[in-house]
Amino acid sequence: MEAIKKLDRFSDISELGSELQFSIGDTGIIECSISVHGRKAIPNETKSLLQSGKLSVKKMPVSKFNELEQDYVCSCVLRVANELFSSLPETMVIITAEDLLLNTSTGHMEKAPILSVAISRDTLYQFNLYNIDPSDAMANFVHSMAFKKTAGFAPVERLDPAQFT
């Protein structure tokens, strides 16, 4: 935990609106919770230049917005894992992305896990991170994610570090 604080590799992520919390449980596996604030990070409109030279502004289609949000969340998780592996000798980390979701039983927005993934160093380092689709890359790891293009993210359970020891 001291090494993570001293290296300060996550200050630019915090500047983008994401908050990180680290912990090490009984298993010795580093766990990270990241609040991604996806609704704030992804624009809800698209802009294009018309042939006349005028700017056209339209509401982004819901499915496109949701796909961009999924890629954003998955890329945040991959970025955090990459930074942790470049700083520490760990072979696996568990990262859980959280965001505000509508609780339909209360009508209130509540913080909930939307992606929980166990990332191994060996697998991550086999990727060409510049050419992958972050959402597709999750298939390479044990993960929990409930996502639909039309509805977006739904709450999921956090991965239990005990299953990896």
Q: How many CB atoms lie within 10 A of CB 38?
A: 23
CA distance 33 to 157: 13
- Non-local CB neighbours of 136 within 8 Å, separated by 6+ positions: none
Q: In Å, what is the CA distance from 106 to each residue of 101, 103, 109, 112, 161?
A: 11, 6, 9, 14, 30
What was the pLDDT predicted at 9? 59
CA distance 40 to 17: 8
End-to-end CA distance of the chain: 20
Sign of CA dihedral 109, 158, 116, 146: negative
> Which of 22, 62, 20, 17 shows the shortest CA–CA distance to 37?
17
What was the pLDDT predicted at 18? 65
- Could you read off the pLDDT tens digit of each residue along the chain, which spans 165 residues? 565 665 565 666 655 556 788 888 888 899 999 998 877 888 889 898 989 989 999 999 999 999 999 999 999 999 899 988 988 888 999 999 999 998 889 999 999 999 999 999 999 999 998 899 999 999 999 999 999 999 999 999 999 999 987
pTM, two decimals, is: 0.87
- Non-local CB neighbours of 29 within 8 Å, separated by 6+ positions: 90, 92, 93, 94, 161, 164, 165
